[in-house]
Amino acid sequence: MKSKHIHFIGICGVAMSALALAFKRNGWTVTGSDVGFYPPVSTHLKNAGVDYYAGWHVNKMIANGVPDLVVVGNVASSNNPEWLYVQEHKLNYKSYPEVIAEYFIKKNSIVCAGTYGKSTSTSILTWILKEAGYDPSYMFGGIANTTPYSPPSQGGDTAGDRIRQLTPPYEGGAPGWLLPSAEMTNSSWSIVEGDEYTASRWDKGPKFAYYSPTHLLLTSVVWDHADVYPTEADYIAAFQKLVDLVPTNGLQVISEKAASVILAPPSRGAHGGCETIVWPNTTQPSDAKDLHPHYPHRGGIVTYGRDPANDYMYSDITQSRNGIQFTITHKITNNQYPITSSCLGEYMADNLTGCFALANEIGIAPEKIIAAIKTFAGMKRRLEKRYENGVTIFDDIAHSPSKARAILETLRTVYCHSESPAPGGEESLAHQQFVRNDQQVSQRSLLRRRDDKLDEVSLGMKKLKVYAIFEPNTGNRQSEAASWYDNAFAAADEIIIPRLTKLKSTGAVVPKRGDRDASLAMTSENMEGDELAKIMSRTHPKTSYIDDDEKLLNYIKEKIQPGDVVVFMGSHGFRGMIDTLVSTMSKS
């Protein structure tokens, strides 16, 4: 029997390509188009036998017959030839979240949402449930790191073993296995990342509105995406509606950071512009009785965080370059659980605690959760260490001031133990906070590998520095986001804004702000690099704008010294600058 044909308009994105690969593994004929193709996505598509091409060509889309389903990505503009053909010929089409809703969402639907931590939390929960034998359908918007190879368990019947059998060894390097970003299974469980960004070109509501959550993990609610949510009230209202989708017999696992906004909002009914958004009809399973059977006596809401009042509290965090360790205390049982993870960042304690709480609430044994967390290898572009040899280079998807703050604080804590100067040579109060505890450290050492031998390089009173190259996403280039940058980069010694990705402008004029920001009013809705650098310089004097990639890299290479850290932060790819810098450093 001929397999069904699915075509993706905009297949090269991380999320869309993951869907494409999942359908391919389930026997569909998969084709796709996009403006360009780059590793690692292009490599995965090629290895899987997906037929893709650059540009928009109707003749290629229908070369083997009209597709049974066309997935239309947001990249498809109103004059996209393939999209026009789909509409004119009334082909069956869906948006990305509509495909998730129809093919991935199951009776027990776990949705991980929040301003930050949702991709990582979704991948962690996926790994936990797979290792526990749940074998869920799932989707997360990122690429997992290679999981170190371990021999199959006795009998070879765990979900982890099935993943290892399914996925070929990663190309190059030590033996390892890759957790795909999406899978469709026959399980009654699903785990998906709940993105608050627009669902499609024809639906400006959030993607997570389609996912019918029975179980919700909510990591954070901090106003973001000002291009979609013009006011904070708009943004909060979207998450309030998400919470309302969870049935009364469902489970909500909510971070204390989100609970303060969602569970007791100052004006619950103030939905602002979101009142105009029509959400899709969603239904909940009428026979879902014990959605959180392990501890069902708390009314379906479980909180987690640092405060002892939470149902799950984390404490005693220690960090190193090898990861974090901390303790989770379960309030109801008063049991304490030691957690070890190779992931970097104190904020990961929050993500991991949320995942532990949800997994424990649905009945997975704590020892299984702890073991799965220990073997979880993290995700690419989440404090991904790209190079370490004297200087350390990181790549992270942090595209907002709040996300950048967390990344920089982690790097300052873990890598720069000796006293460092404040940005621009001026010791701001915010910067002093990060170096105060280390002022009595007089000497550090750095192990650097040369010719396969470890040499100790004495740094003496060397002041290790953090250099941040930052590009915000569209929402954080809106003039409304200007105040969000104040003091957010205090843990960096120097900030460089590169040439920003060109965005389409609607030609709208941004109204002038209040007195404090009147000088920053702009005539277009999107900040350019020089404007952003000017805004950030208010609280970060050592901020510069370098619009030439080669000059930027040369500047970094001239400035960095042994022990320093360079971190690229942003949702775009920096036009190959990271690879170029890593290659240059490797040769030198």
Report pLDDT digits (tens) over 324-344: 999 999 999 999 999 999 888
Question: Hey, how many other C-beta atoms are within 10 angstroms of the C-beta on 42?
Answer: 17
pLDDT tens digits, one per residue of 364-402: 999 999 999 998 887 778 878 888 888 899 898 888 888
User: How far apart, in whole angstroms, are the C-alpha atoms of residue 296 and residue 294?
Assistant: 6
Higher pLDDT residue, 74 or 468?
468
State the span(s) of the chain assigned CATH 3.40.50.720. 5-91
Q: Is residue 244 scored above 80 in pLDDT?
A: yes
| Residue indicated by tokens 């619950």 | 268
Which residues, 6 or more positions from 260, have their beta carbon under 8 angstroms from its beta carbon?
Answer: none
Mean pLDDT along residues 540-557: 92
Which 3 state secondary structure label does DSSP give 25?
Answer: helix
Mean pLDDT along residues 91-109: 96
Of 158, 156, 157, 176, residue with least CA distance to 167 = 176
For position 146, what pLDDT does the model report? 58
Q: Tell me which of 200-204, 263-267, 512-516 is least confident.
A: 512-516
Indicate the pLDDT class of residue 39, thresholds 50, 70 and 90.
Answer: confident
pLDDT tens digits, one per residue of 51-74: 999 999 999 999 989 999 999 998
Long-range contacts of 226-230 (CB under 8 A, 24+ apart): 226/475, 226/476, 226/478, 226/480, 226/481, 227/474, 227/475, 227/478, 227/525, 228/196, 228/197, 228/198, 228/204, 228/475, 229/196, 229/273, 229/274, 229/475, 230/272, 230/273, 230/480
Q: Is residue 451 scored above 90 in pLDDT?
A: no
State the span(s) of the chain assigned CATH 3.40.1190.10. 103-144+179-304
| pLDDT more than 70, % of the chain | 76
Most confident of 171-180, 249-258, 296-305, 565-574: 249-258
State the span(s) of the chain assigned CATH 3.90.190.20. 384-587
Higher pLDDT residue, 557 or 525?
557
Q: Tell me which of 40-44, 82-86, 450-454 is least confident.
A: 450-454
CATH topology assigned to domain 384-587:
Protein-Tyrosine Phosphatase; Chain A (3.90.190)
The whole-chain average pLDDT of the chain stands at 79
Question: Hey, how many other C-beta atoms are within 10 angstroms of the C-beta on 517?
Answer: 15
| pLDDT more than 90, % of the chain | 44
For position 7, what pLDDT does the model report? 97
CATH topology assigned to domain 5-91:
Rossmann fold (3.40.50)
Amino acid at 78: S
C-beta of residue 394 within 8 angstroms of C-beta of residue 566: yes
Which residues, 6 or more positions from 398, have their beta carbon under 8 angstroms from its beta carbon?
Answer: 404, 406, 407, 470, 569, 570
Q: Tell me which of 181-185, 396-400, 505-509 is least confident.
A: 505-509
Higher pLDDT residue, 10 or 433?
10
Indicate the pLDDT class of residue 219, thresholds 50, 70 and 90.
Answer: very high
User: How far apart, in whole angstroms, are the C-alpha atoms of residue 121 and residue 254?
Assistant: 12
Give CATH for domain 103-144+179-304. 3.40.1190.10
C-beta of residue 231 within 8 angstroms of C-beta of residue 272: yes
